[in-house]
Amino acid sequence: MQEPQITQDLIAAHGLKPDEYARILEIIGREPTFTELGIFSAMWNEHCSYKSSKKWLRTLHTTGERVICGPGENAGVVDIGDGQAVVFKMESHNHPSYIEPHQGAATGVGGILRDVFTMGARPIAAMDALSFGLPGHEKTTHLVKGVVEGIGSYGNCFGVPNVGGEVRFHRSYNGNCLVNAFAAGLAETDKIFYSAASGVGMPVVYLGAKTGRDGVGGATMASAEFDDTIEEKRPTVQVGDPFTEKCLLEACLELMDSGSVISIQDMGAAGLTCSAVEMGDKGGLGIRLNLDAVPQREANMTAYEMMLSESQERMLMVLKPEKEAEARAIFEKWDLDFAIVGETIPEDRFLIVHGNTVKADLPLSKLASSAPEYDRPWVETPAAAPLGALPEIAPIAGLMALIGSPNHAHKAWVWEQYDTQVMADTLRRPGLGAGIVRVHGTEKALAFTSDVTPRYVRANPYEGGKQAVAEAWRNLCAVGAEPLAATDNLNFGNPEKPEIMGQFVGAIKGIGEACRALDFPVVSGNVSLYNETDGKGILPTPTIGAVGLLRTADEIIGGLAAEGDAAVLIGTRGTHLGQSALIAEAFGMEDGDAPAVDLERERRHGEFLRAQRAHLRGATDLSEGGLALAAFEMAEASGVGVTLDDSDIAALFGEDQARYLVAASPADAEALVAAGKAAGVPVSIIGRFGGDAISLGGDAAPLTELSKVFRSAFAQALGL
C-alpha cells in the first residue's frame, strides 16, 4: 500500500511542532516515511517523552537504603526484607476515561497491572484515585458509573484486591476527569525482570493478545487538550480484556520461573514502538522487527497501524534462544499468542520490515534519547490572600455540610463494586484509612494509601506538594506501618502556560522537599499534562501513592473506638481554615492559603504514634475536615457516639498538619499524655467515645441520623 505524503498538516496532526519536525530531519538527514513519522510522534509526545517535565523530575528524591529500582523502569522496586520486594507504580488514564469511561478506566487498570507483573511481581493490591466534575454536571454521573464499573470489571476479573483510593468532585474536572490507577506486586529480590535487552541475535518475542487497530495514536491523543471534537476521538481508546491479562500474568510468571527471559517490556502507550525502542536503547542494541510475523486481529493492517496500535494485553520479550520450545509450550498452555517477530542487532538501528519492504530505518538510540526536552517558562504562583472573615456556622451544621457532600460522604457505592478481598490476604478493606494486605505466607503486611488535596496545591503549590506527601506518610503511620516509598502521578494543565508550569514546578519542589525530609523516596511515577478543556485547566492534582511495611500483623493499629474510650489528639489544636473542606462545602469558598507543613514535626508525631501503639485502640490521621470529620468517621465506623469538648470552629474543622486522632482506654490515654510530655509531642485528651450522639462543643445530633446522611449522600448527589 502507498503511504501518504508527508505534509505540514500531517505533521501537525501527529502533534509534532515545526521545530520538532526540523529536529527529525536533522537526525535522519532525509524526509521520514509515514511509518517513521508515526514512530517519532509516538516517542516524542509528552506522554512518552516527559519532555516538559524531565528537567524537574530529576530533582526528586529517588534513592534510599531499601530502593532496589527507582524511576525509569516499568515500576519502582523496594526491599521489604527476607529476599522479597514490593513493586509499584501509579499511572493516569485521564483522557481515555473521559472519552469512553468504562474502557478508558479498565485499560488504565490493565496497564498498571502489566507494568507491575512485567517486572516479575504478582500484583497483590490496587487503588484508584478519581477526580470528577461537579455532581450536577451533565457528564458526571455517566463518568462515575462508567469509570467505577470499568475499574471493577478489569480488576475483579484479573483478581487483584482493590484496597483504597480517593474520589473527589470539583468543577475544574467538569471537562477532564482524572483516573489514576495504582498497582503493587510482590517479587523475589533476585528475580526482578528489567527491560534492557542483551546479546546480539537474540529472538524478540511477541506475547499475549493479537494486534488490532484499537488505540492507534492513543498516546498522542493523551497529550492533547480537549475541545469540541472530542467525540471523534473515541476510536483511539483501547478495549481491554482482563481475562487475557490474567492468562498473560500466569504465563509470564511461569515463563520467568523457567529462566527463559533475558528482558521483558509490556506494550503500553505507543505499543510495539515504545516497547521495542525501550528494550534496545537500554541494552545499547538495535532491533529488527518483521511485522509479517506479528499476530494480527484484523486484515490488511499497515506497518504504521501495527507500530502505533495500543491493543491491550501484549508483551515483548527477548528470549534465550535455547529456551524457545519451553517458552512456546507455556504460552500454548494458556492459549496465548507467541511469535518470534524480530531479533536484536549490533548496529544502532530500529529496522521495521513489512511485506519485504523496509518501512522504517531509524537510529534507535536517537529515538529514545533525542526526544526534545523543554525548560518551559514558568512563573511562581502568587501568594494567596489571607483568609477573610467567615460566616457563622454551628458545629453540627458544619459537619452536616461535609458528610452530606459526595466529597466526604461514605463511598461504599464505589468500593463495593471492587473485589476488595480476592487473594484472601486483605487485612483492611477501603473505608478506614490505609488499606492493608498480608504478604502471602508470611507474618508481614503492606499498607497502601493515595493522597492529595488539590485546593491546597492551587493556592500554594509548594506547601500543597509537601502536604500530599506528608498526608500519605501520615496515613501509613496511622495504621502502624513504617512508610517505605512513594509513587507520584502528576496531573496538571497545559505546561505551555507559564502559570500552569509554575504550579508544576512548585509542587515538584514541595514533593521533593517532603520526600527528602521524611526519607520517603519516589520510586516511580507518571506525568499527565494538558488536562484542560477549552483552555481551562484542572486543579493541580499531584496524587501521591505510597506503601508502608508492617513486620508482623500485630503491628497494625486498628481504626475503631470502643464505648468509654478517651478521644486523644496528637498534635496541636486546630487553627487553619484556609482552603479547608469546611469553607468549601459550607460556604462555597476556596480562599486563603494552604496549611503549612512542618516536616520535622510530621516525622516526630508519626514516629511517636507508632512507638505508642500498645496504648492505642484505634487511630486515624487528620486531614480534610479536621478533627470533627475524623472523630465522626471513627465513631460512625465503630457504631458509638463521640463527644468533643472544644466548640471553636477552627479547633474542630481546622486542617493544621501533623495530627492524629486516637481512641484509647482512659488509663492508656493518661499514659499517652505522659509519653507525649516526655517526647515533646503535644498530646491532649479532647473528648470521649460512647453514647449514641455526636456532640461537638455542646452542639449534638443523634449518630443514627448523621450516619444515614453520611451513607446516602454519595448516591443521592449523583442520582445513582
Please give the annotated binding residues for ATP, written as ranges.
50, 89, 488, 525
Residue 93 designated active-site: yes
Nearest-approach distance from CB 605 to another protein, in angstroms: 23
Q: Are 55 and 375 in contact (CB under 8 A)?
A: yes
The interface with another protein within residues 331-350 (CB under 8 A) comprises 333-335
Nearest-approach distance from CB 665 to another protein, in angstroms: 19
- Using CB under 8 A as the binding rule, whether residue 448 contacts another protein is answered as no
Nearer to another protein, 37 or 560 (CB): 560
Nearer to another protein, 371 or 477 (CB): 477
> What is the phi/psi pair of residue 525, to 5°?
170, -175
| Strands 532-533 vs 536-537: parallel, antiparallel or unpaired | antiparallel
- Using CB under 8 A as the binding rule, whether residue 678 contacts another protein is answered as no
Specify the stretch interacting with another protein by CB under 8 A; choose among 430-438, 453-461, 486-494, 568-576. Answer: 430-438
Give the Cα separation of 608 and 585 in Å (integer): 33
For residue 43 the three cell numbers come to 516517542
Nearer to another protein, 91 or 241 (CB): 241
If we measure between CA atoms, which residue out of 696, 702, 613 comes closest to residue 660? Answer: 613
If we measure between CA atoms, which residue out of 297, 286, 310, 141 comes closest to residue 199? Answer: 286
For residue 336 the three cell numbers come to 496465548
Q: Which is catalytic among the residues 14, 61, 93, 605?
A: 93
Q: Which of 152, 521, 574, 697 binds another protein (CB under 8 A)?
A: 152
Eight-state DSSP code of residue 418: S
The distance in angstroms from the start CA to the end CA of the chain is: 50
Q: Which of 223, 260, 426, 491 binds another protein (CB under 8 A)?
A: 426
Nearest-approach distance from CB 719 to another protein, in angstroms: 15
Q: Which of 393, 412, 675, 685 binds another protein (CB under 8 A)?
A: 412
- Annotated binding-site members for substrate: 92-95, 114, 238, 310-312, 528
The interface with another protein within residues 191-250 (CB under 8 A) comprises 241-244, 246-247
Give the Cα separation of 92 and 218 in Å (integer): 13
- Using CB under 8 A as the binding rule, whether residue 157 contacts another protein is answered as yes
Cα-based distances in Å from 123 to 316, 487, 605, 633: 19, 16, 32, 30
Strand, helix or coil for residue 250: helix
Nearer to another protein, 415 or 530 (CB): 415
Give the Cα separation of 281 and 287 in Å (integer): 9
Say which residue the cell 524480530 belongs to: 342
- Using CB under 8 A as the binding rule, whether residue 547 contacts another protein is answered as no
Q: Which of 549, 560, 619, 652 binds another protein (CB under 8 A)?
A: 560
- Using CB under 8 A as the binding rule, whether residue 144 contacts another protein is answered as no
If we measure between CA atoms, which residue out of 617, 626, 613 comes closest to residue 690? Answer: 617
Nearer to another protein, 152 or 283 (CB): 152
Count of residues of this chain found to bind another protein when the rule CB under 8 A is applied? 45
- Using CB under 8 A as the binding rule, whether residue 85 contacts another protein is answered as no
Strand partners, 451: 544
If we measure between CA atoms, which residue out of 287, 242, 245, 280 comes closest to residue 263? Answer: 280
Residue 102 designated active-site: no
Q: Which of 59, 357, 421, 575 binds another protein (CB under 8 A)?
A: 421
Helix (H) / strand (E) containing 99: helix 94-99
If we measure between CA atoms, which residue out of 632, 596, 608 comes closest to residue 709? Answer: 632
Residues catalogued as catalytic:
47, 93
Residues that bind another protein (CB under 8 A): 149, 152-153, 156-159, 241-244, 246-247, 333-335, 412, 415-429, 432, 436, 438, 443, 445, 550, 552-554, 556, 558-560
